[in-house]
Amino acid sequence: MTIVILGAGGIGSLIGGFLSKQNDVLLVGRRSHIDKINRKGLEITGSVNENFKVNATTKIISINENDLIVLTTKATDNKRSLDEIKHLIRKSNTVLCLQNGLGNEEQIKKIVDCRVVRGIITAGVTFLEPGKVVCSNLGNIFLEDSDASEKIADMLNESGLDAEIRKDIKKLIWKKLILNCVLNPLTAILKVENNGISDVLDVAKMISDEAVEAAKTQHIDFNKYKVFRDVCRVINSAGSNKSSMLQDILKGRKTEIDFLNGRIAEIAEKHKIGAPVNMALTDIIRFLENKKLKTKI
């Protein structure tokens, strides 16, 4: 069995590197990154200091029966990335979705005709330059309870990653969603590292509280004070990590805002509870995306 890592950015590279210790792994990513990996290996520094010799390519030519596809692209790239390979995917394959955002797995199931397993990862990873990523912490990988999850969890654990199957995966997805709704847009707008938003905690709390109210409409019940306390703990321990949204804005790329704060605003509007701060942040990030993209053109 080959493990195909579709989206070899920071997270994808980290997972692929570790899995390559004991498995046949294929990293799929941008040419500059792939070329460097093929020449000099994948270098991961920080809490991990290793160079991984892992197969890497810019395009998937074939997928074998029972191959596992680990989807670590941005959620905004799901349709484009999967459309390119869906003719290669068989019913015996499995797609493991390890992405930020809400509702990703439903979108994926509409594109591919195979098993889709949802998971989340809490690692802190920054893409430094082609061939190099920085990992501040390995974190955990949580998988939904499915008939494929035990085998996947075993592979991850045997490779040195901390994975477990959780029956409350929806609640964990929402918890990470709320954290990302705070960290990503604020760091991207203010152009600061993750711990730099400690000076705007009042705004962070409004974002978090609105998201907690939106979660209730989906039958996910949180204590808003405990959720925000956890958010603050992550902010204080985040150090010099750069959020993925900040990196996207700096590089003039489209962000995942529609799967984060945009999703909160959408749910709030549907249930008529209001989420003005999340809606405002969504509009601001969309403006910054368009401004950067136009500037690059």
User: Domain spans of the chain?
Assistant: 2-166, 169-296
What residue ranges in the chain does DSSP mark as E strands? 2-6, 24-28, 42-46, 50-52, 55-57, 68-71, 94-98, 115-121, 124-129, 132-137, 141-144, 163-166
Burial letters for 116-137: b for 16+ Cβ neighbours within 10 Å, e otherwise? Answer: bbbbbbbbbbbbeebbbbbbbb
CATH architecture designation of domain 169-296: Orthogonal Bundle (1.10)
pLDDT at site 263: 96
- Which residues lie closer than 8 Å to 30 by C-beta, 6 or more apart? 8, 58, 130
Q: Is position 176 annotated as part of the catalytic site?
A: yes
| pLDDT value for 195 | 87
Residue 227's φ and ψ, nearest 5 degrees, are -60, -45
> CATH for 2-166, among 3.40.50.720, 1.20.140.10, 3.40.50.300, 1.10.2020.10?
3.40.50.720
State the catalytic residue, choosing from 176, 205, 242, 292. 176
Pairing between strand 132-137 and 141-144? unpaired
Measured CA to CA, the distance from residue 166 to residue 137 in angstroms comes to 21
Dihedral class, residue 139 (left if φ above 0, else alpha if ψ from -120 to 50, else beta): left
Give me the helix-helix angle, 149-158 and 10-19, nearest 10°.
80
Residue 70 CB coordination number (10 Å): 26
Q: For the chain, 297 residues long, give each residue's pLDDT as a single digit of tens.
A: 999 999 999 999 999 999 999 999 999 999 999 999 999 999 999 999 999 999 999 999 999 999 999 999 999 999 999 999 999 999 999 999 999 999 899 999 999 999 999 999 999 888 889 999 999 889 999 999 999 999 999 999 999 999 999 999 999 999 999 999 999 999 999 999 888 999 999 999 999 999 999 999 999 999 999 999 999 998 888 767 788 899 899 988 899 999 999 999 999 999 999 999 999 999 999 999 987 555 543
Spatial distance between the Cα atoms of 170 and 220, rounded to a whole number of angstroms: 8
